[in-house]
Amino acid sequence: MTTTVDERSDTQRRGGRVAPTGGLRRRPGRRGAGLVGRGALALVLTLGAAVMLVPFVWLVRSALMTDNQIFVAPPEWWPKPFAWNNFTESLTAQPFGLYLLNTMIIEFFVVSGTVLTCAISAFSFARLRWRGRNVVFALLLTSVMLPYAVTLIPTFVMWSEMEALNTFLPLTVPAWFAGAGGGVFNIFLMRQFFLTIPFELDEAAYIDGATPWRVFWMIIMPLSKPVLVVVVIFTFIGVWNDFLGPLLYLGDQDKFTLALGLASFQSNYTAQWGYLMAASTVVILPIILLFFLLQRYFVEGVTLTGIKS
């Protein structure tokens, strides 16, 4: 590993030119090059990180300023004084507590439904042999390519006919059908993982008289925690960030989710930028925290999908 690391840093430093080759040059030249390369790498990463983070800094800084201070040219970077009341006032200007509760209710039903039904379908596609299995799975996979706009209007009409507009049903029920649409990715992910578990475990269980449900629930699920965590995180973030769904289906303000509340806030309160920035900060923070705590599962999760091959 270290070899590749040093070599790659070399490339950067020399701007990608091929190094003069020769087995003997290795040790002495390399250590110095590694140091310089490493320094360059650190510098590039820091600069990049600054570019990535500046918008966030700008956001938090604006969230802590009074409107008077926000509209000063040239702009100031440091809030003077800290307008903490932006947070308390913006969050009470609209019922953000209720929005949070609504979001969490939807989260609960979507995450549990997606994980359960996607896992059980994936189990069927990975470890149970039945006629037509591969054809059905291939068919499901094609829906990944389908633009959501194609199903948008009829699906809306369907919920409207069922008089389910302005309820959480259109946002939660599809999750119980293996996530419907977007859920196919989860099935794919879990299937890949299930395929890596030794099949002898199932065989032994069946010989002991176990049912497939028992094999799924007592053997496969406990062994699949990493992939389950990944699906939970992806699904949770998806719901947290969803905007078009709530926009279409939720009309009454007391049904709003956080994303929807923030959007309506944006149109109603453009005069009070400090409030808007404070509310945005509050919507962003939990997801960043969640990601930071569970960061390593993300890369792992994508690796698991086998996209690499």
User: Minimum distance from CB of 224 to another protein (Å)?
Assistant: 15
- Residue of 28, 81, 147, 222 interacting with another protein (CB under 8 A): 147
Q: Which of 246, 237, 95 is nearest to 169 (CA)?
A: 246
Contacts of residue 291, Cβ cutoff 8 Å, sequence gap at least 6: 233, 237, 298
The residues in 74-133 that bind another protein, with binding defined as CB under 8 A, are 74-75, 117-118, 120-121, 123-125, 128-131, 133
Per-residue string for binding with another protein, 225-254, x by CB under 8 A?
A: ------------x--xx-xx--xx------
220: number of Cβ within 10 Å: 23
C-alpha distances (whole Å) from 89 to each of 58, 114, 142, 274 are 20, 36, 48, 10
Stretch near another protein under the rule CB under 8 A, chosen from 79-87, 104-112, 161-169, 290-298:
290-298
Residue type, 284: I
Stretch near another protein under the rule CB under 8 A, chosen from 3-11, 92-100, 104-112, 219-227:
3-11
Distance (Å, rounded) from C-alpha 295 to C-alpha 302? 12
Nearer to another protein, 109 or 298 (CB): 298
Nearer to another protein, 101 or 195 (CB): 195
Residue 263 in contact with another protein, rule: CB under 8 A = yes
Contact criterion met (CB below 8 Å) for 224 and 194: yes
Nearer to another protein, 62 or 224 (CB): 62
- Residue of 24, 135, 207, 271 interacting with another protein (CB under 8 A): 207
Nearer to another protein, 218 or 307 (CB): 307
Contact criterion met (CB below 8 Å) for 156 and 250: no
C-alpha distances (whole Å) from 281 to each of 87, 160, 180 are 9, 34, 31
The residues in 20-59 that bind another protein, with binding defined as CB under 8 A, are 21-23, 38, 41-42, 44-45, 48-49, 52-56, 58-59
User: Minimum distance from CB of 134 to another protein (Å)?
Assistant: 11
Contacts of residue 45, Cβ cutoff 8 Å, sequence gap at least 6: none
